[in-house]
């Protein structure tokens, strides 16, 4: 939680200071199935920009590019709790952008 507060307080869009973070490496489970909602702290902070990994599959064509199987993907699962104890998940789509890492 401290790291999230640090990111939140240090982002200043007027001076274009921001945090660029990796979302994590939990894109699939032990059986190789895609997992969603595994963006790690502090990447789940709304003002943090997360950069995921993409895979080009060794081609020049863009239509076969995809997020790398190991790269974490959203939505974020952070939540706040109201006075009644009901959880309200933020469900922010992440990563914000991807960069070629494999392929």
Q: What is the mean pLDDT of the chain?
A: 84
Res 12: pLDDT: 65
**CA distance linking residue 62 with residue 57, whole number of Å:** 10
How far does Cα 72 stand from its chain's mean position?
6
Res 8: pLDDT: 67
Q: What is the pLDDT of residues 5-22, one digit of tens each?
A: 666 666 665 666 666 677
Res 4: pLDDT: 63
The list of the chain residues with pLDDT below 70 reads 1-20, 102-103
Enumerate the H helices of 25-85 as residue ranges. Answer: none
């Amino acid at each position: 939680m401290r790291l999230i507060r640090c990111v939140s307080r240090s982002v200043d869009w007027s001076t274009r200071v921001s945090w660029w973070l990796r979302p994590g490496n939990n894109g699939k489970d032990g059986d190789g199935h895609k997992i969603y909602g595994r963006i790690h702290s502090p990447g789940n902070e709304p003002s943090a920009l997360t950069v995921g990994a993409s895979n080009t599959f060794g081609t020049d064509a863009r239509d076969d590019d995809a997020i790398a199987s190991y790269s974490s993907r959203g939505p974020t699962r952070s939540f706040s709790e109201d006075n009644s104890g009901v959880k309200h998940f933020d469900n922010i789509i992440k990563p914000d952008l991807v960069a070629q890492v494999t392929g």
